[in-house]
Structure 1
């Protein structure tokens, strides 16, 4: 009798674009987790050696697969990864995300135990921020007060989430690939419109990069406005609450920006010449 391959339960999709500086650390957090069966890296036109790094890692770690998506935009890369991955559950993180050691097991255990949950999203802190301990302390305090808990939510964080393949297939045609909109918020709105449950999982931990905090406030405001456009694009009314949320987020960003402006993310220290890491795009 011929041998059969074990089923692929959890795939993790990682869209990439010029992530040579961080993709190795991201993948090293994933390959050792037995609960993760497949890691699909979708390169979206890198010119900095990202593809070569991933290809080399894939030789040593067969669960890594490298794909290429020529159409620009994270939504195109995400869609290619979602469609070509084989898992019943599809994780989604960014190339600068460092997941916790039980990340995969947490996704699988929750979706196995809660068949009505169609997607999950977790709690993220920073791994390269000079003031990241403030965010960690705030999250810890909110958890102790019961403000962060396992509960249904209306959004997903693209750097720390997972979705059932069946749910993705149900909403895929309703999602947008417009580069001027937020693809993770758009996906969450499509799930909500289809009455598919999203759960927030406090144990689903990941650390992300704070490098986008270097974005000038004027550019960040335009980026925040894309959230309102994403909501309107899915047919929802933009209400004062939505405007209050993005205004609060912008004020928080603006208050921190002077600190990040002189922070060198490569050397993890303050510098008068800190370099120019990636900032958040405002779309085309």
Structure 2
């Protein structure tokens, strides 16, 4: 039995924590979407069955009796609706204070919860507070449950903001002039909850911002009849200017201007909230403010994600053509003829090891294949032994299970050459791949060369998505890294190295789960250059199930974070190390970690924004983000000589596959913060890459 190291347990509590966090986020976003929803109004209908007195002028209706009360002659009840607004409500309050007038502010619960300090300022200034419903909903088509929720939620907001509740309700979209049977039924429902309804007969129309003169004309009562005036403390400077002209004119004309309570001589319009309502209201206000902050933050992240995608597109458009021109001009000054050692670390690779070894033996460049069996429990060693008997340049080394890094070090120690190629046991090489890789070592400054790894099994939708990711996310980025001289990873599936360079840094380290990234960064910090060779092509078997994909990418992401942290000091170093630290690491962390995390924010924000007034803007941004993802995809596929047809699945990949990558990155970050160390994740292989050329003896 192979020796197995103890496997530390990954903390499972983070899954529960992550689930609770996601549930809380969705709940808060749903609350914010509800509060921001643009509720359409219902056209007025028949006035049949509506009491004549209810729509004959400004009135306070007590639906419990029912009774309708009109203001006395030359009396104006001044009301403001739909606030409070952080910019204009203070200006309105200042205008009212200048003229010594009290008014009634019919606030929405959403705005009251977002700006509780303004509610307190209104009450402290001696004004009245009325209920304009939670979401400014048109109650004409609402049932009794919706009416109750709208009113009680607003009461909660008022209780949490200022410790009060109110008896006055001004239904949105309803004035005495628009009162119909549906609105009258809504009035009766409001009365069922112990409220009095205030209907305006003068509508300033200031929310349309028609100009101060028009607002003034709409707000001026005629014929000396008492009236209820509807204005908006959210409409802007026109309302404030109109007040400064309207109030002195009315006062000089002998009009009494005041709040609804003082105008109609109502005994009580506001009540002190109960303790339980204050506690519940405080929690409600906190939830609304948190949901608004979260929504605003996600919208900022949406723009950040879009900006990052745009920045990446700019990188691609600028760098890719330069890289193509440079690689097409490059030629090795002489041909390297020495035999190259190809090291294949293998653990339970019986499904594909024969194809891997045979493909290496077809190389046009002379090779020696060294397979290091790392304590396999299947037929891997037996298969390689048979190949060893048939082919002279195949060697098998067995060792107890010690991990991939140890297997690579074992193979390197056994190799007879200075130039080494490392290949995974599930990878098939093109015949000219090794030759293209080692040609770069004619430059004595180059310590490693990255190959071009492609997905070989592309039949399933999941495999096609991975194919897209390899071409766009890996190979395209390697072109950018190559031009900037800051490649962070030579993939374990195919990479070439100077043996002396690896020995100088102490061999392949097992400090991280991404030994290939760790090795590449260590070489660059030692002063070696790392380049990318697009013509050195290998084919690898991508995971065929979501579980296997999760294991692989979880290890990759976690290992990359480990390697980035291990080599963080390269940020302040010089030469190749400095380019890695100041160019490679930021690019890697921004576009492969940060963008992975916030990219789903685009989807989440777009989904919840569909139910708000910003739906069109956010939807356009989301579509623009998809375009910004698709353009580099087309460029990458063209550069790699791939057919564009798989890109038809890109929109679905952005919706489904991206969420999986997001969860993997989040789990990796949480695991890293928890201080856990993951075991090596062995994937199940099926050997389904494709036909392999006949090997040379």
**Could you state the TM-score of these two structures normalised by the residue count of structure 2?**
0.33
Deviation, 1:196, is 0.7
Q: In the alignment, is residue 227 of structure 1 matched against residue 574 of structure 2?
A: no
Kept in 2, the 8 Å contact 1:13–1:92? The answer is: yes
Equivalent position of 2:593 in the other structure: 246
**Could you state the TM-score of these two structures normalised by the residue count of structure 1?**
0.75
Kept in 2, the 8 Å contact 1:120–1:201? The answer is: yes
Equivalent position of 1:177 in the other structure: 510
2:452 to 116, 123, 128: 123
Comparing 19-28 with 203-212, greater Cα deviation is found at 203-212
2:403 to 66, 73, 77: 73
Q: Counterparts of 1:199 and 1:165 in 2: how far apart (Å)?
A: 16
1:50-79: CA deviation from partner (whole Å, max 9, x where unpaired): 000000001101101000121421001011
Deviation, 1:168, is 1.4
Equivalent position of 1:191 in the other structure: 523
1:208-263: CA deviation from partner (whole Å, max 9, x where unpaired): 1111763467754465123112222345479765443235457779933999xxxx
Equivalent position of 2:535 in the other structure: 203
Unpaired segments of 5 or more residues in structure 1?
1-6, 260-276
Equivalent position of 2:502 in the other structure: 168
Q: Counterparts of 2:449 and 2:355 in 1: how far apart (Å)?
A: 23
Structure with more contact order per residue of length (Cα contacts < 8 Å, sep ≥ 6): 1
Equivalent position of 2:376 in the other structure: 46
Kept in 1, the 8 Å contact 2:376–2:401? The answer is: no
Q: Counterparts of 1:137 and 1:155 in 2: how far apart (Å)?
A: 15
Kept in 1, the 8 Å contact 2:347–2:373? The answer is: yes
Equivalent position of 1:269 in the other structure: none
The count of aligned residue pairs is 251
Q: Counterparts of 1:195 and 1:36 in 2: how far apart (Å)?
A: 29
Residue 35 of structure 1: SS of its match in structure 2? Answer: coil
Residue 211 of structure 1: SS of its match in structure 2? Answer: coil
Provide the aligned C-alpha RMSD in A.
3.5
Q: How does 1:1-284 map to 2 (within 5 A)?
A: 9-112=339-442, 114-130=443-459, 131=464, 134=468, 138=472, 152=485, 153-173=487-507, 175-178=508-511, 180-211=512-543, 214-215=546-547, 220-221=553-554, 223-236=556-569, 241-244=587-590, 245-248=592-595, 255-256=656-657, 278=683
Deviation, 1:111, is 1.5
Unpaired segments of 5 or more residues in structure 2?
1-336, 572-580, 601-652, 661-681, 686-697
1:28-70: CA deviation from partner (whole Å, max 9, x where unpaired): 1111224132000001111110000000001101101000121
1:177-235: CA deviation from partner (whole Å, max 9, x where unpaired): 24x52100110111011011111111111111111763467754465123112222345
Cα separation, partners in 2 of 1:217 and 1:10, compared to 1, 3 Å: closer
* Structure (1 or 2) with the larger CA radius of gyration: 2
Residue 86 of structure 1: SS of its match in structure 2? Answer: coil
Deviation, 1:84, is 1.0
Residue 381 of structure 2: SS of its match in structure 1? Answer: helix
Q: Counterparts of 2:402 and 2:380 in 1: how far apart (Å)?
A: 16
